Chains A and B, each alone.
Chain A
Amino acid sequence: MLTLTSPTETPLHKLGAGPKLAALAGLSVVIFSLQNLWFILGAGALVCGVYLAFGLTFARYGAAMLRPLWPFLAILVLWHAWTSDWALGAAIGGKMMVAVALANLVTMTTRLDDMIGVVERLAVPLARFGVKPRVLAVAVALVIRFTPVLMDKAGQLGQAWRARSARRVNWRIVLPISLMALDDADRVAEAIRARGGL
């Protein structure tokens, strides 16, 4: 399955996932606590600069990942046009954009393997509470493998529906999709047990 990691190699790709996540956590706290509009604009310019420094393709991809935020920016503009409190609106919208762009930067420059590596390291101390790192790894791998499998099967069910019915595919198709998930879960559990279990 496709991940959101950028195929454009950047120097940030070489950095460890752990330090990047720690830096992101720290910077996010700082950004959300900023009050001065100029500091927020400065942070925004800085983040924009980092994206652009990694090339236009990378920056365009980053901009596309911010698209879900536009409706919320529109709401903020309308709201603060009504209360005519522009500075506050710009600060709230700016903080949101900068924080999301920064978090996306970590997602775009960190491979899934490295992220899973961090999870495995964090899971080691959890073993004492009964969370086996191996079980966690198997569960993650199963979701990654079975999401496209279930997507395919759901697509086939949709085609079968369209071939047999004049009516549009509706929510009733969720029942057979869920049924497939249950049956697949049973079969995979048997297969894992047959190979020695978890």
Chain B
Amino acid sequence: MEKNVTYIALFAALIAVLGLVPQISLASGVPITAQSLGVMLCGTVLGAKRGFLAALLFVGLVALGLPLLSGGRGGLGVFSSPTVGFVIGFPIAAFVAGLIVEKTRAAIGVAAFGGALIGGVLVLYLFGITGMALVLGKGWVAASLLVGAYIPGDLIKAGMAGFITQGLAKLRPEAVLSRG
């Protein structure tokens, strides 16, 4: 019980930290926020249920007014802005990513990559694009064109999530609860 609560809370904090740490850059030196990487890791490391709860806790604290979203954004205004779908999608994305790691028999790194790809990119963008289409009053196709530029970066992050989950499974096999 205690372990469940602290894992969920610390991974909610991890999502925040990865969104606020400014020093991460891709190979080309393009700065990216790693916030969605944090969401992917919640699922691939903690599993579906705990990953969902960790991301939900994070979203709840953003709603309460903590500036935890990348760029120090937060508060209730986030839920009326065009990016609302991505924020609401975080818990679902973590859940799907975790479910895939739990249910597949593939090697942990491969399963985590697949989970991050389907949960952290496909599902998250479904929510994100839908939210953007609704707030901006545009069609779904137009909204997907607006966020299309970010998809390659998120595909790379799914690969990173695979490597990192594999590394954690090697270093702390008992802590990777998605394969516990």
Residues of A in contact with B (beta carbons under 8 Å apart): 1-5, 24, 28, 65-66, 68-69, 72, 75-76, 79, 88, 92, 96, 99-104, 106-108, 110, 112, 115-116, 119, 135, 138-140, 142-144, 146-147, 149-151, 154-155, 158, 168-171, 173-175, 177-179, 181-186, 188-190, 192-193, 197-198
- B48-59 CB contact bits vs A (8 Å, 1 = yes)? 000000000110
A104 with B77: CB separation less than 8 A: yes
Count of interface residues, chain B, beta-carbon cutoff 8 Å: 63
Q: A144-B61, A181-B14 are in contact. List 8 more A-B contacts (CB 8 A).
A: A3-B66, A72-B82, A92-B136, A100-B81, A139-B12, A169-B24, A178-B14, A184-B10
With A and B bound together, what is the CA distance between A103 and B172 in angstroms?
42
- Among B21, B65, B77, which residue has the most Cβ atoms of chain A within 10 A? B77
- Whether A174 and B6, one on each chain, are in contact in the complex, defined by CB atoms closer than 8 angstroms, is no
**Interfacial chain A residues near B155, Cβ < 8 Å:** none
Chain B positions 67-88 with a Cβ under 8 Å from a chain A Cβ = 67-68, 71, 73-83
| Chain B residues whose C-beta falls within 8 Å of the C-beta of A119 in the assembled complex | 60, 64
Q: For the complex, would chain A's binding face be called helix, strand, loop or mixed by DSSP majority?
A: helix
Known: A103-B76, A147-B68. A178 touches B164 (CB 8 A): yes
Q: A4-B66, A100-B81 are in contact. Are A138 and B14 (CB under 8 A)?
A: no
CB distance from B42 to the nearest CB of A (A): 10
How many Å lie between the Cα of A161 and that of B23 in the bound state?
A: 11
Q: How far is the CA of A181 from the CA of B175 in the complex (A)?
A: 11
The 8 Å CB contact of A177, one of B14, B58, B171, is: B14
Pick the residue among A1, A108, A146, A186 that contacts B175 (CB under 8 A): A186
Cβ contact within 8 Å between B136 and A143: no
